[in-house]
Structure 1
Amino acid sequence: MDGTGKGVRVVAESVRPRALAALAAASLTCTALSLAPGAPAAAARVACGPAVANPLVEAPWPLARLRPDLAWPLSTGQGVRVAVVDSGVSADHATLRGKVRPGRDFLSPDGEGDCDENGHGTLIAGIIAGREHTSAGFRFHGVAPDATVVPVRVLRDQRRSFEPDLSDRIAEAIRWAVDVGDAGVVNLSLTTPHTDELEAAVRHALDRGVVVVAAAGNQNETDDSVQQGRSGVFPAGYDGVIAVAGVDQDGAHVRSSIAGAHVDVAAPGARIAGPAPAGGGYLFTEEGGTSFAAGYVSGLAALIRAREPALRPDGVARRITETADHPAGRWNEEVGYGVVDPARAVGALRGDRGVPAVRARGVPPPATRPDPLADVTRVAVPLAVAGAAAALLVLAGVPVVRRGRRRGWRAGDRVDD
C-alpha cells in the first residue's frame, strides 16, 4: 500500500520465494518476472514459468491425509471444468498435459491464460485436477484427476500490486469463467479488497449454480478493505463462498492461516508440492498457504459436482462441511467445520439431507445388516432355558428314584439298609 492510501493489492496466498526450495538452484531465465520481490523482469522470455526439473523428494502427505482416491469409484470429476483464477496455468507438465482448456489472459491481449510466469497457478491446478504421475518413486495426483482446468490469468506474481482496478479485474475474470469458460467450480486462491463489482460477480457465479471456493487468507497479509469501510477477507468473506483455512501434517491449524467467522473448512496448507510450469519437475513450499488448501477443496467440489450435477452450490458446501472431521464443539474459527474428507463427502447420501454421522479420520461407520440367524436365535433361547429347567428336574429326581427302588415302590414299607 502506498502512502496515499489509494493503492490496491492482491495476494496469491502464497508460494513465498524462500519457501520454494525446488527453485533455489533452478534457472529463472525463462521467466518474465522472478519470484524474488523487487527483482527486475527478464529482458526476454523463452517459455512461461520457472523451469524446474527437481523430482518429488517425498510422498505428498496431503494425499495420504485426505485419500481422495477412495472417492474415485464414485467420481473422478469427469466432465467438470474448474476455473483457476490466478497467475495462469501451464500445460507442459505431465500431470496437466491435455487437461488445460483454452482460457483467458487479462494481462496479455489475446492470451489464453496458459502462460504462468510465477508457478502458483500451475501448482494449484495440479492439486485440483492433476492426473496420476510418478516422480522418483513417489505418486502424485490431484483430487479430481478427470476434471479439466480453465486458466484465467489475473496475476503476474504474488507481490503487492498498486493497480486501482485489480479487484474489479478479478470480478471480470469470475464472470468470464462462468459465462464463457463454462466453469462448474471457480477457485480463488487469492485475497483482494472488497468492491461492489467483486461481490456482484461472486453472487452472479452462485446464482448460475457455480461453486466458489476461496482461500481464507494468511496472517501476514493486511486487508486494505478496512480503509474502504468494510473489514474482512475477500472474496472468502462473501456469503456462499467456501472459505478454506490451512492445517499442517499433524492436523494442527497453520498459524499463518487467518482465523475468523468466515472460515468454513480446512485442508492441507503446509509442506505442499505440485507441478512446475516448465522443466517437468515439482515445486515445493515449506510454509505453504491457504491458497493450496483452497485447491484441495476445489478438487473435492469437482468430485461432488460430477457425482451430482444438479446439486446447488449451497448443497455442495453443506455436503463438504457436514462430512468434514469436525473439531470439538463442531466448529471453530481456526478450521471451521474441520478438515475435509473427500470419500465421506462424495459417498454421502444423495442430496443435502441425511448426511451420516462424522467419525474421526473420515472412516464411515460400518453398515448395519440384518442378522440371518435372528429367527434361530429367537427360538434357541427359550429352548435352552427349558432344557436347563428339565435337567434340574432330572437331577432333583435321582434321590427319589433310588429310594423308590429300595422300597420296591411299595408305600410305607421299611427297608433296612
Structure 2
Amino acid sequence: MGLTRTLRIAGSTAAVGALLFATATTASADQVRSDQWPLQALDAEAVWKIATGKGVTVAVIDDGVDASHRDLKGNVLPGKDFIDGDSDASPAAGDSHGTAMAGVIAGHGHGVNGSDGVKGLAPDAKILPLRDNGGQSDGFASSIRYAVDHGASVINISQGGSLPTAGGEEQQAIRYALQHNAIVVAGSGNEGKSGTEAVSYPASYPGVVNVGAVKDSKEIWEKSNSGANLLLTAPGYRVVSAGTDSDGYRMGTGTSDSAAYVSAACALLHEKFPDLTAGQIVNRLTKTAGLPASAKGLNLPDEKYGYGYIQPLAALQQNIPAGSKNGPLTMPSSNSQATPEDNTAASSASDDSSSGLTTNSVIALSTLAALGVLIVIGVALFLVRRAKRRRAAEQSQFNQQSGYGSYPPNSYPGSAPYQQQPPSDRYPHQ
C-alpha cells in the first residue's frame, strides 16, 4: 500500500474516531425519543405530514448497519461489504457508527405507533448499507458507484480523511453519482480546523454536500471544521440514535450526525419533488437555510455555517424556482488524471531525465528520496499514535462527565428545556 493511501486511511480513522459517544445502557425507549432534540428542532411532526422518505433509498457508507435493530428492522436493504468482500454489511462486534447514522436517517422506532426508541427524520426511507472504510486503492469510489447502480438517491459518507485518492477515482465516482441524480453528503470533520487545514475528503470534493454541525443553540459546534467549501449545517450535538445490539442506543456529537440529518432531508425532498435534479434538491435546502442571531448579516456561503442550518419543513413548503441543474453544487471535472501533487512529481521526473544527470546523481537523488519517504512515514505514524492517545483521553473524560441517561428528557447541560422555546424557532436557545 502506498504512502498516500496509508495517510488517507489514518486520516479517515481519526475523523471517525473524533466522534464522541457514550452507550445508553440505562436509557428507556421512551426517554430515547424524548432526548432526540433534533426532531423537535426540525419540526419533524409537521414534516412527516408532507413527506417521510417513502420510496427513497439512502446508501450509508460506513462501518456497517445492524439490520436487526428493533428501530431499523425492515428499513435496511441487503448491502455489500467492501472490507471483507462479501454481501454481509453487518458491523463488526462493538461497531455502532453506521447503525447510528442509519437510525438518524431512517429509524422508525417501535412500540405502539412507533412511539418509542429512535426515529429518523426520514422514517420510511430505505437504507442501503455499504461497509467501507476507504481502505481500497480507489477509496470510496467502488461503494459510491455501487450505491448509484443499486438505486440510491442519496449517499451518506460520515467519514473522511485529509487526502484524496491519487488517481482521482473518488472524484469521478462523485461525478457519476451526480450524473445519475444521486446526492453525495459528507461531514466536514471534527477537529475544529478552518481554511486549508480543514480540507477533508470526500467532503471537499466538488459536487459533495459538505456539512458542518450545530448545537441545540443554533450556534456552530466548536470542533466542526469550517472552510470555503462548506455548504450546510445541521444538528450534530448530543444526538441520540441506535447503537450496538438489537436494542441499544448511543449519544454522539460530530459532523457525522449532521451529515446524516442532511441526507435524511434530501430523502424527504426526493420523495416530494421526484423530478428535481440532485443540484435542485440541494438548492431548496440552501435557499431555506437559517442562521442564528449571532450570524445574521454574514455573506453566504459562510465558512462556518455555509448557507445555514437546514430547515426541511420550509424546504418542502416554500415556493422555490427549480433553478439550474447543478444548483449550488460544483460539477466535478471529467478529468480523472493524477492530483496536482502527482503532476508536480511527474514534471520533476521529466525535467531530471532531460537535464543530462549522471547515473551517480540519479542514485544519490533516489537515496535522498527514499530517506525522505521514511521520514514522512515516521512522522505520520507518530501523529497517528498521538491522535489516538488524545482521542482516548477525550473519550475517557467525556464518559466520566456525561454518561447518556443521566439527564432529564429534553434537558441537557447548557441548554434550556425545549418546550420553553417560542414556536417560531427551529432550534432551541441556550
TM-score range relative to shorter protein: 0.5 to 0.7
Three-state SS of the structure 2 residue aligned to 1:204 is helix
Q: Is 1:101–1:149's contact at 8 Å kept on the other side of the alignment? A: yes
Whichever residue aligns with residue 206 of structure 1, its letter is: L
Alignment-derived partner of residue 173 in structure 1: 143
**Is 1:275 matched up with 2:242?**
yes
**Is 1:21 matched up with 2:22?**
yes
The 5 A counterparts of 1:243-258 are 243-258=210-225
The 5 A counterparts of 1:234-313 are 234-285=201-252, 288-313=253-278
Whichever residue aligns with residue 51 of structure 2, its letter is: S
**Structure 2 counterpart of 1:129, from 79, 86, 106:** 106
Q: Is 1:144–1:300's contact at 8 Å kept on the other side of the alignment? A: yes
Alignment-derived partner of residue 315 in structure 2: 345
Q: Is 1:134–1:140's contact at 8 Å kept on the other side of the alignment? A: no
The 5 A counterparts of 1:38-187 are 55=29, 56=31, 58-117=34-93, 118-133=95-110, 140-155=118-133, 163=135, 165=136, 168-179=138-149, 181-187=150-156
Three-state SS of the structure 2 residue aligned to 1:303 is helix
Deviation at 1:281, TM superposition (A): 2.1
Counterpart-to-counterpart distance in 1, 2:192 and 2:426: 32
- Shift of the 182–4 alpha-carbon distance from structure 1 to 2, 3 Å rule, reads closer
Deviation at 1:232, TM superposition (A): 2.4
Gaps in structure 2 of 5+ consecutive residues: 325-422
Deviation at 1:126, TM superposition (A): 0.5
Whichever residue aligns with residue 187 of structure 1, its letter is: N
Q: Is 1:91–1:277's contact at 8 Å kept on the other side of the alignment? A: no
Q: Is 1:71–1:347's contact at 8 Å kept on the other side of the alignment? A: no
Counterpart-to-counterpart distance in 1, 2:208 and 2:4: 31
Q: Is 2:191–2:224's contact at 8 Å kept on the other side of the alignment? A: yes
Counterpart-to-counterpart distance in 2, 1:5 and 1:91: 30
How many residues align? The count is: 315
Q: TM-score, normalised by structure 1?
A: 0.68
Which deviations, in whole Å up to 9, do the C-alpha atoms of 1:328-347 show, x marking residues without a partner?
22532111111100101111
Counterpart-to-counterpart distance in 2, 1:171 and 1:308: 27
**Dislocated runs of 4+, deviation >4 Å:** 1-6, 52-58, 220-223
Please give the root-mean-square deviation of Cα atoms over the aligned residues, in Å.
3.3
- Shift of the 304–13 alpha-carbon distance from structure 1 to 2, 3 Å rule, reads farther
Which deviations, in whole Å up to 9, do the C-alpha atoms of 1:189-218 show, x marking residues without a partner?
111321201111111101111111111112
Q: TM-score, normalised by structure 2?
A: 0.66
Counterpart-to-counterpart distance in 2, 1:289 and 1:134: 29
Q: Is 2:18–2:191's contact at 8 Å kept on the other side of the alignment? A: no
Deviation at 1:169, TM superposition (A): 3.6
Counterpart-to-counterpart distance in 1, 2:212 and 2:67: 27
The 5 A counterparts of 1:177-256 are 177-179=147-149, 181-192=150-161, 193-195=163-165, 196-219=168-191, 232-256=199-223
Counterpart-to-counterpart distance in 2, 1:122 and 1:351: 36
- Shift of the 5–268 alpha-carbon distance from structure 1 to 2, 3 Å rule, reads closer
Three-state SS of the structure 1 residue aligned to 2:102 is helix
- Shift of the 191–5 alpha-carbon distance from structure 1 to 2, 3 Å rule, reads closer
Q: Is 1:12–1:291's contact at 8 Å kept on the other side of the alignment? A: no
Q: Is 1:12–1:86's contact at 8 Å kept on the other side of the alignment? A: no
Q: Is 1:89–1:116's contact at 8 Å kept on the other side of the alignment? A: no
Alignment-derived partner of residue 316 in structure 1: 281
Whichever residue aligns with residue 198 of structure 1, its letter is: E
- Shift of the 250–360 alpha-carbon distance from structure 1 to 2, 3 Å rule, reads same
Which deviations, in whole Å up to 9, do the C-alpha atoms of 1:206-233 show, x marking residues without a partner?
111111111111216899x98xxxx822
Which is higher, the Rg of structure 1 or of structure 2? 1
Q: Is 2:57–2:125's contact at 8 Å kept on the other side of the alignment? A: yes
Counterpart-to-counterpart distance in 1, 2:311 and 2:6: 42
**Is 1:336 matched up with 2:306?**
yes
Gaps in structure 1 of 5+ consecutive residues: 27-51, 156-160, 364-417
Counterpart-to-counterpart distance in 2, 1:199 and 1:2: 19
Alignment-derived partner of residue 36 in structure 1: none
Counterpart-to-counterpart distance in 1, 2:2 and 2:193: 15
Alignment-derived partner of residue 385 in structure 2: none
Counterpart-to-counterpart distance in 1, 2:256 and 2:205: 17
Identity value in percent: 34
